[in-house]
Structure 1
């Protein structure tokens, strides 16, 4: 035996191997257990829609920030916050414009440093928001499902 080891010959020791059917049965049991645990534990709660509402708010803010002013200013948003008189003059037009931008199933509130337009934000509902920064202050748009 010592001579065989010196010449690099391996001795034949018995090795154990799992049967392929035993491996398949183990994988199947783990898969069934995973599916059963999925039903038992349930799935994650559904999204409350905040991400979609944020997108609606961002879209409205982008449209308003890109529109030319009706009277003076760089954009429609900057015109509204330029002065208290400008806000008073543009308040109704801003409300109508935001209502046209957003889908019919949404309510909104636009808050500026000069005042706010739209509906009062309710408590306990999912709300999306977006903010546009202007030289005269931030304009924030909140949206929620009606």
Structure 2
């Protein structure tokens, strides 16, 4: 009995075609782009915290954040200025919430949203800044 055999070159061509199609399909479909939203939000939050932690105060203390957290009275006096300042620091499409020991400014953080967060410790308490895309 004789057995039929495929020529070796035909097997090589078939394997080569499968390999080329696989590579072409990989390029065509690609891989999903990495989610750059979280790292960018973290940068926005950190930058905002850094600016507020190094910016001179409007009235007294050494920095704007220390001025805001020193007492409830100081927070109430500076609440609107802090809200305006953070809004000017961030891009228009980014919302924020700044939590201090004496109160908060900004928009409450909605559930199920990706946020960037920065925390700054001062001598009078901790300030937490959260930012997210509108």
Normalising to structure 2: TM-score of the pair?
0.79
Shift, 1:68, TM fit:
0.7
**1:27 to 1:143, Cα distance in 2 relative to 1, 3 A:** same
Q: Structure 2 CA distance, aligned partners of 1:87 and 1:31?
A: 66
Q: Say which of 40, 58, 63 aligns to 1:52.
A: 40
Q: Is the 8 A contact 1:113 1:138 kept in 2?
A: yes
Shift, 1:112, TM fit:
0.7
Q: Which runs of 5+ in 1 are unaligned?
A: 1-21
Q: Which runs of 5+ in 2 are unaligned?
A: 1-11
Q: Are 1:34 and 2:11 matched, yes or no? A: no
What is the total number of aligned residue pairs between the two structures?
Answer: 125
Corresponding residue number in structure 2 for 1:101: 89
Corresponding residue number in structure 2 for 1:114: 102
Shift, 1:44, TM fit:
3.2
Normalising to structure 1: TM-score of the pair?
0.73
Q: Structure 2 CA distance, aligned partners of 1:83 and 1:136?
A: 8
Greater C-alpha Rg:
1
Q: Are 1:86 and 2:54 matched, yes or no? A: no
